[in-house]
Amino acid sequence: MSTLPAALRRVEVSGAEALWLLEGSALGRLVYPQREVTVIRPGRATWEYGRLVVRAPAPAAAIPATATYHVDEVRAATGTGWSVTVTGPVDVITDPNEAAHYQRTLAGWSHGPHDTLLRLHPKTVSGFRLARAEA
């Protein structure tokens, strides 16, 4: 005999709570268009001075002027958790001292020309909590 799955609901969170959730998570995904295809790269991020600094294995020349960073934590057993998406203009960190600092503090997947450090200036922030529906 099987049991029915629990009803789930999605609850929108405020921008402040979404940023708080984002600050607590270091692993996410950088999403950007490239040659009419959406590219998804794993990324590590840190929140500093009102901007998101992202380290991702992507060539700097391929990153457009605007990108999206997505983070989520969903518990597979219950289907509960949260999801946050941040979109905004990006610029590549080219200062060697600043780049060295972030390369020390953010673990990367590759080293060389495809190891890029970006500064994302959030323009839109959206977040959702995934919860069980009230009975």
Mean pLDDT in order along the chain per 10 residues (135 residues): 66 90 89 91 90 91 92 86 94 93 84 83 93 74
Identify whether 49 is part of a domain. Answer: yes
Strand partners, 16: none
Give the integer Cα–Cα distance in Å for 27 and 68.
Answer: 14
Identify whether 18 is part of a domain. Answer: yes
Identify whether 57 is part of a domain. Answer: yes
Q: What is the pLDDT of residue 49?
A: 87
Identify whether 2 is part of a domain. Answer: no
| Count of CB atoms situated within 10 Å of the CB of 15 | 14
Identify whether 44 is part of a domain. Answer: yes
Q: What is the pLDDT of residue 42?
A: 93
Domains: count for the chain = 1
Token pair for residue 15?
């921008």
Q: What is the pLDDT of residue 50?
A: 86
Identify whether 15 is part of a domain. Answer: yes
Identify whether 1 is part of a domain. Answer: no
* Residue 17 domain boundaries: 8-132
For residue 55, give the CATH number of its domain: 2.30.110.10
Backbone angles phi, psi at 60, to 5 degrees: -60, -35
Q: What is the pLDDT of residue 54?
A: 94
Strand partners, 40: 31
| pTM, two decimal places | 0.85
Q: What is the pLDDT of residue 1?
A: 47
Cβ–Cβ under 8 Å, residues 92 and 60: yes
